[in-house]
């Protein structure tokens, strides 16, 4: 392969955007197109956009993207569910407001992890990283990155199938006891200590962090309200809109602080509540 062919190979990208927030999706599209315009000979094509797991599962095989920009929290679930529903044969640049998913993201075709709010420089570096990986794994095969895909799919196939736990081990004093998941109202973290509050207002502690608990518990009944709180649907008494698009959630038992859902997660929360 000549240097010109390598340059062309690096510069061409068919991108699928998976993001449920319209402003964020428009920003990703604009930055991707600007990246293409600034790179010599670059050609950026947005081959599709999806805001839900369901739409993504339909679009991925139809559009056959070179790279995917993927938010993690979508309107109908967590993006990792996509990998359980269809074969993803493209590297993924994850874009998210949460940093707790880093390890899991890199076991799902992830090549980079860009935190929101998206910064131009960081997204550009992610695109550059894709181009370099694409060139490295081509090994002289014209317009092919099969080696990269096999590498990513090998990581993906190695992960275990998700199993939602029915009980977790918690700490009460110096003793460890099993706790049925159905008894949990919510979990929250404070000063790196994770508390588990039951529906009967009992308080336990766990050595796991909130991200680990989120992975263990059924996403149909547990929702990550914010960085601190993971709650069971039955613990939500009511919720109301707050300023700047945020949502105030009333939990029972009542915590000692106001629990907010951010503007970015508000639509995801509403969709989850209406399942």
Q: Using CA atoms, how far apart are residues 223 and 120, in angstroms rounded to an integer?
A: 30
Average pLDDT over residues 58-66: 90
Give the whole-angstrom CA distance, residue 5 versus residue 144: 12
Mean pLDDT across the chain: 83
Tell me which of 130 and 238 has the higher pLDDT: 238
**DSSP category for residue 205:** E
Three-state SS at 40: coil
Query: Is residue 84's pLDDT more than 80?
Result: no
CA 133, 135, 140, 145 dihedral sign is: positive
Fold of 167-273: OB fold (Dihydrolipoamide Acetyltransferase, E2P) (2.40.50)
Cα(28)–Cα(156) distance, integer angstroms: 25
**pTM (two decimals):** 0.53
Domain limits of the chain?
3-158, 167-273
- What fold does the segment set 3-158 form as a domain? Rossmann fold (3.40.50)
Window from 29-38, 48-57, 132-141, 177-186 with minimum mean pLDDT: 132-141
User: What distance in Å separates the CA atoms of residue 20 and residue 15, rounded to the nearest whole number?
Assistant: 16
Q: Which of 1-5, 191-195, 202-206 has the highest mean pLDDT?
A: 202-206
pLDDT band, residue 85 (cuts 50/70/90): confident
pLDDT for res 1: 37
pLDDT of residue 197 exceeding 50, the answer is yes
Q: How confident is the model at residue 7 (pLDDT cuts 50, 70, 90)?
A: very low
How far apart CA 94 and CA 114 sit, in angstroms, is: 6
pLDDT digits (tens, 9 = 90+) for 218-256: 988 999 998 899 999 999 999 999 988 899 999 999 999
Cα–Cα distance measured from residue 17 to residue 26, given in angstroms and rounded to the nearest whole number:
10
What is the C-alpha to C-alpha distance for residues 93 and 113, in angstroms, rounded to an integer? 6
Residue 152 pLDDT more than 60? Answer: no
Q: How confident is the model at residue 4 (pLDDT cuts 50, 70, 90)?
A: very low
């Amino acid at each position: 392969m000549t240097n010109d062919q390598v340059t062309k190979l690096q510069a061409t990208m068919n991108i699928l955007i998976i993001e449920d927030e319209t402003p964020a999706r428009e920003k990703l599209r604009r930055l991707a197109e600007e990246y293409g315009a600034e790179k010599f000979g670059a050609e950026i094509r947005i081959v599709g956009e999806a805001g839900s797991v369901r739409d993504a599962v339909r679009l991925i095989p139809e559009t056959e993207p070179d790279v995917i920009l993927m938010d993690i929290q979508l309107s109908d679930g967590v993006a990792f569910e996509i990998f359980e529903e269809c074969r993803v044969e493209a590297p993924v640049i994850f874009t998210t407001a949460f940093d707790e998913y880093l390890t899991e993201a890199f076991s799902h075709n992830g090549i980079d992890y860009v935190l929101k709010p998206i910064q131009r420089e960081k997204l550009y570096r992610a695109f550059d990283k894709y181009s370099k990986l694409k060139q490295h794994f081509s090994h002289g095969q014209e317009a092919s990155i099969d080696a990269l895909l096999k590498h990513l799919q090998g990581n993906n196939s190695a992960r275990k199938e998700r199993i939602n736990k029915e009980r977790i081990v918690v700490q009460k004093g110096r003793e460890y006891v099993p706790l049925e998941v159905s008894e949990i109202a919510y979990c929250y973290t404070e000063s790196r200590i994770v508390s588990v509050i039951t529906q009967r207002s009992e308080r336990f502690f766990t050595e796991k962090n909130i991200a680990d608990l989120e992975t263990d518990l059924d996403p149909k009944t547990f929702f990550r309200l914010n960085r601190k709180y993971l709650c069971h649907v039955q613990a939500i008494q009511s919720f109301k809109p707050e300023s700047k698009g945020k949502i105030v959630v009333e939990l029972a038992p009542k915590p000692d602080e106001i629990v907010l859902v951010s503007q970015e997660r508000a639509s995801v929360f509403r969709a989850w509540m209406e399942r």
